[in-house]
Structure 1
Amino acid sequence: MTIPMEKKYKKAKWLSGEALQIAVKRREVKSKGEKERYKHLNAEFQRIARRDKKAFLSDQCKEIEENNRMGKTRDLFKKIRDTKGTFHAKMGSIKNRYGMDLTGAEDIKKRWQEYTEELYKKDLHDQDNHDGVTTYLEPDNLECEVKWALESITMNKASGGDGIPVKRFQILEDDTVKVLHSICQQIWKTQQWPQDWKRSVFIPIPKKGNAKECSNYRTIALISHTSKVMLKILQAKLQQYVNHELPDVQAGFRKGRGTRVQTANICWIIEKAREFQKNIYFCFIDYAKAFDCVGHNKLWKILKEMGIPDHLTCLLRNLYAGQEATVRTGHGTTDWFQIGKGVRQGCILSPCLFNLYAEYIMRNAGLEEAQAGIKIAERNINHLRYADDTTLMAESEEELKSLLMKVKEESEKVGLKLNIQKTKIMASGLIISWEIDGETVETVSDFFFFGSKITADGDCRHEIKRRLLLGRKVMTNLDSIFISRDIPFPTKVRLVKAMVFPVVMYGCESWTVKKAERQRIDAFKLWCWRTLESPLGCKEIQPVHSEGDQSWVFFGKNDAKAETPVLWPSHVKS
């Protein structure tokens, strides 16, 4: 029996038909053992392949410049990603619950359904005794609210199970608004949702770790765009209550706040502790599948305690009741199954709901009233949060352990469990290793906090060096574009500002830049301009200045020896 060979396809998309024909001849000659003929064909193939690649890159660069000239920013950066060959993870074989590899299409689909059904299975003790209807109704929705919600839906997003894109609704805007307003009003009054709006398509996105383990994937939910109109309206009504309940230590999914603010807060606290010669202890908590383990009935009780109106809570309760989902794999979609817990990662309402869930945990843990923490300006700070990422801090090891055990206990009461393997402790002083539930909590000297490397001694040199290396890597990946003569110099400068400088200057708000680091940054800037082969010469190029909050700053000759290179947003300045 002859085993058929798998047909080979060309790997390089720039190879022409002529090059492929020579490659076939070269393979045949090699099998016959004709060395001289093989050398000749190989040299011919290499020559034609270089020509094809040069022509391909030239055409790509011309398209990049055309998109830039026409102001098509999305197409511009998409073409750049295609040109430099961005890596896209592919889902291959996975392991079953016993650790055996699965390669068959049906086996992989069944495994994903088995895993997600178990992950979102409803807890037996989480019983719901509510009838699902409330008599008191909030004021009706207006047609202008529906129009606002429709216009605010982000374009170019993947469709849900119905496959209807946002553009379809915007073709007949006035008629669409009237129809959607009628549907939203019916939902608002009856508090019952269409079953299609309760359906989600899960897309597994790989995280760190073994890609064969289903637990190392994040399941992002694709939901119907029509349902997002009602969800936007509901979110706007919830937001006023959420903003009132959340403290300023929570920066996750809040307007005017972000990861940069929390990173800067951590760095400044470490810096002040060193200034006053105090030891400081941090615990970076990681929850296991936090968004997927939210108990629905516990969530409704929390919303009631937080003062959310019964009508809004009832709408949310009925939205989550009877939810169905399917998993889209590389081998097709699984069967539909029921969702019994968790908030959908990808739903507009999930950030608000989870923030209230996490706030309930911290209140019950008594962190606001606890004496443990860092004393700053007559205020005690013992934790910072960004959604489910919680950082505990204290001035002694005993205080930190006490805070951690309180948070762990209250989290487990509402269904959230700490991932001890990913929970880390960082301290400026001596610390003894801890054991929680038989597992050792790792003590580290540095920690990657929202993309920035934070060290126990608060030194920024390591992070600045790392950022400069990342910037050089981006510049190197874009070499084929920067050396092209089909792209004018102003476009190359724009690409450097848009794709290289933000990578280097991310988190620069928290840097304390000394003379040596300033020289490194200046040298990197000049290296970037030299790479572009500027006709003006590096000395004549003006430094890049900050514009708005999302910006980067390079230093001039009159800078002090140590400065923070940033223009802060207004809420941080105050």
Structure 2
Amino acid sequence: MCGVHYAHCLCVLGVRVHCVSAHAYKQDKLLTLRLLYDHCSRLITNAWEVGSVPQAWKDASIVTIDKKGDRTDCRNYRGISLLSIAGKIFARILLNRISTHITPEVVPETQCGFRGNWTTVDMIFCLRQLQEKCNEQDRPLVFVDFNKAFDTVGRTRLWQLLRKYGCPEKFTTMIEALHTGMMANVSVGGEVSESFGVTNGVKQGCVLPPHALLHLPISNADEAFRDMGDGIYIQSRQNADLFNVAHFRVKTKTTRILMRELLFADDSALVAHSAEEMQKIVNAFSDASKKFGLKINIKKTEVLYQPNSTRTREEDIMVDGNKLNSVLEFTYFGSTI
């Protein structure tokens, strides 16, 4: 195990589980590295060679965090998994090794979630530009929210995606090992439930699932839009004067880019030229999502309605026979669009 990876892991972890706290791991870094490095290294090396991990690394104690909405409604709570610190160190080492190997090559520019040097600011800027043009040119915008993506995604399909996008077989096997046979309990108000098996979804609280999940919307979009040309084409020319519109009328030296989705982890924004095209895109996106165990949240998926001189009627966009709610403004990563 690389000492740099291990030292980094000690600095980023902050949850106390299974009697050993992150504070204890990093209280005296020199002493910690001297006393714990060899022991932890042997554990991780053994897990790597054997292809399995201790049960304590798999298990989770789930605590709930309330989101906005009615606190008496269980659907308005998010479950966070408190995990073994040693298991989190192992997961961080795996992530450090594979993130630079598969992410840059396979993740398109439309996906900004969980990537270095990419932030929500990039997505907000792009979306505001699209929103401005959509308003001028009478184009619809749909914001898609999945229902409990972390909890409902099919693990088998997720492991297949990791292999598809170039994750080495040994790393995929170890990620599977951290989830196979997982047990969990729920901690509420100082009381702990009986343990139960968890066979679906991934852990909110582990560093690996977000990076694994970012491939889901990508593959979902590939599956949905494989044979579809609908969307908005943007024409660009790198060597043109930004303010010389005549340069963009020339058909040579120009590039056309198809814009159809903006992705940040599992949050998606869809654009199209018309309501009819948007309905086709939403239908394809919904059908493809079901293959990955994901379901669109009808209540939180909304159509941005921007009335102007040519459009005074709300667009009727449907998902599984349910009409999506039309709104005059939408809060996108803290920015009101």
TM-score (norm 1): 0.52
Q: 2:299 corresponds to which residue?
A: 421
- Residue 150 of structure 2 aligns with an amino acid whose one-letter code is F
- Residue 363 of structure 1 aligns with an amino acid whose one-letter code is D
Q: 1:60 corresponds to which residue?
A: none
Q: 1:412 corresponds to which residue?
A: 290
- Residue 333 of structure 1 aligns with an amino acid whose one-letter code is V
Can you give the 5+ residue segments of structure 2 that lack an aligned partner in the other structure?
A: 237-255
After the TM superposition, which segments of 4 or more aligned residues of structure 1 sit over 6 Å from their partners? none
1:224 Cα offset (Å): 1.3
1:328 Cα offset (Å): 0.8
- Of the three residues 158, 161, 183, the one matched with 2:15 is 158
1:420-458 CA distances to partner (integer Å, 9 max, x unpaired)? 11110114444432333332211111111111111xxxx
Q: 1:304 corresponds to which residue?
A: 163
1:370 Cα offset (Å): 2.7
Bigger relative CO (Cα 8 Å, ≥ 6 apart): 2
Can you give the 5+ residue segments of structure 1 that lack an aligned partner in the other structure?
A: 1-141, 455-574
1:394-434 CA distances to partner (integer Å, 9 max, x unpaired)? 12111111111111000011110011111101144444323
Whether contact under 8 Å (1:384, 1:391) holds in the other structure is: yes
SS in 1 for 2:90: helix
SS in 2 for 1:443: strand
Q: 2:247 corresponds to which residue?
A: none
SS in 2 for 1:320: coil
RMSD: 1.8
| Cα separation, 2, equivalents of 1:167 and 1:444 | 46
Structure that is richer in helix per residue: 1
Q: 1:444 corresponds to which residue?
A: 327
| Cα separation, 2, equivalents of 1:143 and 1:422 | 44
% identical aligned pairs: 27
1:143 Cα offset (Å): 3.8
The 5-angstrom pairing of residues 40-439 of structure 1 reads: 142-154=1-13, 157-160=14-17, 162-170=18-26, 171=28, 172=31, 173-239=33-99, 240-273=101-134, 277-366=136-225, 370-377=229-236, 378-428=256-306, 429=311, 430-439=313-322
Structure of greater Rg: 1
Structure that is richer in strand per residue: 2
Whether contact under 8 Å (2:6, 2:93) holds in the other structure is: no
1:263 Cα offset (Å): 1.1
> Against the structure 1 CA distance between its residues 144 and 158, is the aligned structure 2 distance closer, same or farther, given a 3 Å change threshold?
closer
1:376 Cα offset (Å): 4.2
1:183 Cα offset (Å): 0.9
The 5-angstrom pairing of residues 460-539 of structure 1 reads: none
1:391 Cα offset (Å): 0.2
Whether contact under 8 Å (1:149, 1:229) holds in the other structure is: no
1:59-118 CA distances to partner (integer Å, 9 max, x unpaired)? xxxxxxxxxxxxxxxxxxxxxxxxxxxxxxxxxxxxxxxxxxxxxxxxxxxxxxxxxxxx
- Residue 426 of structure 1 aligns with an amino acid whose one-letter code is L
- Residue 163 of structure 1 aligns with an amino acid whose one-letter code is C
| Cα separation, 1, equivalents of 2:95 and 2:121 | 25
> Against the structure 1 CA distance between its residues 381 and 190, is the aligned structure 2 distance closer, same or farther, given a 3 Å change threshold?
same
> Against the structure 1 CA distance between its residues 374 and 208, is the aligned structure 2 distance closer, same or farther, given a 3 Å change threshold?
farther
Paired residues, what number? 308
TM-score (norm 2): 0.86
- Residue 90 of structure 2 aligns with an amino acid whose one-letter code is M
1:237-257 CA distances to partner (integer Å, 9 max, x unpaired)? 221212321111111111111
Whether contact under 8 Å (2:304, 2:326) holds in the other structure is: yes
- Residue 176 of structure 2 aligns with an amino acid whose one-letter code is R
1:152 Cα offset (Å): 3.8
1:279-298 CA distances to partner (integer Å, 9 max, x unpaired)? 22100001110111111111
